[in-house]
Amino acid sequence: MFPSYRRPLFLFSRHLETIYPALLRRVEDVSFDRERIATNDDDFLDLDWLRKGNPRLVIISHGLEGSSRRAYITGMARALSSNGFDVLAWNFRGCSDDMNHQLRFYHSGATDDLQLVIHHAVAKGYADISLIGFSLGGNLTLKYLGEAVPHETVKRAVTFSVPLDLYNSCLKISQPGNFVYSRRFLRNLKAKVRKKATQMNGLDLTGIDAIQTLVDFDNRYTAPLHGFRDALDYYNRCSALYYLKSITTPTLIVNAQNDPFLSDTCYPMGITKENPAVRFEAPSHGGHVGFAQFNKNGLYWSEERALAFLNSQT
């Protein structure tokens, strides 16, 4: 049994556990090699590689308004690269240095882009691929694994801080106690819409300043831009919660019980009994994409947990 997470004494609240790693962690010794690949709709994805010629590859998917440069990505990449894995950290559309070419952005269910990245890695010669996803990237990873038979090279998956129920998690993050998070996400999302509106037609900015919640943003922009009827249709079709029973790839889901972003429906405690391929763990602490710890090897608990699972025989 892998030891459960124990938070440092000074990170005594779920908000400190969430904010400290996001703002103050520094991972300086990771230098990615950037590759840009074309998509089937005349767009592009930016991929960041750490390669040492290892036969095993891990593909990492970031969270909402994240990128491959976030500390939780670079920290995980460093841990994997130091322990026998090549690493591919990919940036969702609009999340690297350049705005993408199409009206579409990224969203929690855009598994076509993840599938393209996997197939690109297979074409590079990798035959043993694992997936790691954080937050939105975790939902994306689980949906990919459960909506269809994944590529045969995908052997394992690990996800952290996953909003398995998108609708109720959006309501949760919009609560007054989470105002600092929702305001930041909305500010960044609106800025991207405004920027894209200056580059191409098809985005109506009327009333954008009045949008106050992620649900309203998804209803106005995310859903119609990506072929969904409205926000509820988007949430219902893309929430990983509805795909867990179909997953056949050995998969670990870790959601801290004190995660400020996750609703009660994001803790399917009985899923392992329903589907032995999926292991669900809910440590008492960890915050959202937190799991900070301070030790000689410099690894966060989430990185140690991922390595243990990826190297396990289960």
In a domain, 223, yes or no: no
In a domain, 143, yes or no: yes
In a domain, 75, yes or no: yes
- Asked if residues 266 and 255 have their Cβ atoms less than 8 Å apart, the reply is yes
Confidence of residue 254 (pLDDT cuts 50, 70, 90): very high
Domain coverage including residue 255 = 14-166+241-310
CATH number at residue 110: 3.40.50.1820
- For the whole model, what pTM was predicted? 0.97
Average pLDDT over residues 135-159: 97
**Is pLDDT above 90 for 297?**
no
H or E element: which one contains 228? none
In a domain, 135, yes or no: yes
Tokens coding 206: 């009327």
Strands 33-38 and 44-50: antiparallel
State residue 314's pLDDT score: 54
Percent of the chain with pLDDT over 70: 99
In a domain, 236, yes or no: no
In a domain, 210, yes or no: no
Question: DSSP of 146-172, one letter per residue?
Answer: HHSPPPTTEEEEEEES--SSHHHHHHH
In a domain, 265, yes or no: yes
Confidence of residue 1 (pLDDT cuts 50, 70, 90): confident
**Model confidence pLDDT, tens digit, residues 177-231:** 999 999 999 999 999 999 999 999 989 999 999 999 999 999 999 999 999 999 9
**Model confidence pLDDT, tens digit, residues 65-82:** 999 999 999 999 999 999
State residue 28's pLDDT score: 87
Query: Is 54 in a helix, a strand, or coil?
Result: coil
- Asked if residues 95 and 195 have their Cβ atoms less than 8 Å apart, the reply is no
Average pLDDT over residues 60-64: 98
Q: Count up the domains in the chain and report the number.
A: 1
In a domain, 57, yes or no: yes
